Amino acid sequence: MSSILNGLRRKKSDAVFDLLGDVDELSAFLGSAKLASSDEEKNIFEEIQKNLHLIMGIISNMMQCPEGVIFNEEKYLQLEKLIDKYCEGKDLKNFVLPGGSEYFSRLHLARTVCRRAERNYVKFLENINYKKPDKNSEVNFADEGLQKNILVYLNRLSDLLFAMSIK
């Protein structure tokens, strides 16, 4: 058994730990990519890593935003702007073989982990027992807006990593 942020004890096999591990692994791969990136991209990756840590905090608090934390649609709208920037002038109609350089390979690895995190996030949401927030509830889950914002963020992040990983 292990504890999550809100103090609840969960089995190590609980889906919450798979999901937290995926998001943590994604952040680690981005840290690796950051080592081979431009200064501008280092800043992008650092902001993304900060957002991933916010997501881990929300998930480990059973989908409740810790006090003072905001995870709204602005988070994924920023990614959409970056996607547009990195897609400009690129032919995105064909499959791309991962590789090309060490940096691009690191981005592809991060992208695949991000896709796994997105899938496990959906499984996590499908498998938790939703309860409406009330003072007698053991666990209060976030509103659908927050759930959606995280899902869209992970989805757009994998798209951004793909766009950044091709010449």
Domain boundaries, the chain: 2-87+94-164
C-alpha dihedral sign at 122, 26, 55, 75:
negative
Measured CA to CA, the distance from residue 23 to residue 20 in angstroms comes to 5
Number of Cβ within 10 Å of residue 44's Cβ equals 20
pTM: 0.86
Could you list the pLDDT tens digit for every one of the 167 residues in the chain? 776 766 667 777 778 889 999 999 999 999 999 999 999 999 999 999 999 999 998 888 766 776 777 889 999 999 999 999 999 987 777 777 777 899 999 999 999 999 999 999 999 888 775 444 445 444 445 667 888 999 999 999 999 999 999 87
For the domain covering 2-87+94-164, report its CATH number.
1.20.1200.10
